[in-house]
A = this chain, B = another copy of it.
Amino acid sequence: MVGNHSPAKEAPHARPHPAERHSRLPAPSARPACGGQVSHALARVARSHRTTAGHLLRRLGLYPGQELLMMRLWEAGPQRQSELIKLMELDPSTVTRMVQRLEQAGLISRCAHPGDRRAVLIETTPAGEALREEVEQVWRDLEERTVAGLTEADRAELSRLLSLLERNLATG
């Protein structure tokens, strides 16, 4: 991975005082007049989607989010970090760190921008380039799995609606 893992230890605590309240309420998933039908669904689906992407990307040594940055580089070639930030709509600090990790992983490299000493130029390394096919395959798999069972019309409709939502949320 572009990182790694490890173990654990113990801990205390525990507070007395039961007071056992039996609040057996109605079924958990009643769809109450809970304000956010679409919001909830969107959040759940997106998290699930991201987690699935994570599992697939894992074998390639990437974390979800990193593949998007790589894809931008593959498609648009070497570019300024500020360009990545703008296009991916991420916080500058997020990109800075992601870039640091990807560089350390040997997938990209940073170099000074000739002509603007503030800027950093970012480009893929051969190792990074080598991941392209696999990552794109992962995305095809993911997309297929995501919209499985939807008709062509459904997919188009979904894209249309998501675009509307994106517009709504952008302007605010």
Contacts and interface: CB of A to CB of B under 8 A. Distances in A.
Interface of A: 14-21, 23-26, 28-29, 31-32, 34-39, 41-50, 52-53, 68, 71, 75-79, 87, 89, 110-115, 121, 123, 136, 139-140, 142-152, 154-155, 157-159, 161-166, 168-170, 172
B123 A146 contact: no
Contacts of A68: 43
A169 B169 CA distance: 24
A136 B16 CA distance: 32
Contacts of A46: 42-43, 45-47, 49
In this complex, the member of A14, A24, A25, A152 whose beta carbon has the largest number of chain B beta carbons within 10 angstroms is: A25
A144 to B, nearest CB: 7
Stoichiometry (number of copies): 2
A21 B19 CA distance: 36
Contact of A25 (B75, B87, B89, B113): B75
Q: In the A-B complex, list the 5 residue pairs whose CB atoms are closest, starting with the nearest.
A: A46-B46, A23-B77, A18-B114, A41-B162, A48-B169
Contact of A146 (B71, B87, B152, B165): B165
